Amino acid sequence: MGVTPDLQEGVLKTGDVVVVRQGKNKGKFFVVVGIESETRVFISDGSNYPVGKPKKKNVKHLQRTLMNLEDVAGRVAGGKPLDNGWLVQKVSAILDTATHLGDREVEATAWPKKK
């Protein structure tokens, strides 16, 4: 499927799977399809936010997971277009995996709880 664990800390990269932490899409999985700056990225899920019109989001409002879709990064780097249906399938597979794992990967990168 092309999903690999991404252990590097810090900056988001194209293909990273993220969970929205703030806003109307809170709790939903998206894929980083572009990077505007160190603090803003473009995310898409293929359906509500198609690849042609991705959501611009502040990285402070995103939670990284340990997954990266190498296929997305490869297509973007190679200048090949991303297909919305294909991206929906990838995000759905991620949701199925997260459900089966009990969201352990999401919890592993979760923000620390306030005391």
CB 31 within 8 A of CB 18: yes
* Dihedral angle of Cα 105, 15, 25, 115, to the nearest 10 degrees: 40
Distance CA 33, CA 14 (A): 5
Phi-psi label, residue 102: left if phi above 0, alpha if psi -120 to 50, beta otherwise:
left
Q: What is the pLDDT of residues 51-108, one digit of tens each?
A: 899 999 999 999 998 888 888 888 888 888 888 898 888 888 877 877 665 555 555 5
**The model's pTM:** 0.75
Q: What is the pLDDT of residues 29-57, one digit of tens each?
A: 999 999 999 899 999 998 899 989 999 99
State the amino acid at position 101 in one-letter form. L
Rounded to 5 degrees, what are φ and ψ at 91? -65, -40
The domains found in the chain, sorted by start residue, are: 3-108 (2.30.30.30)
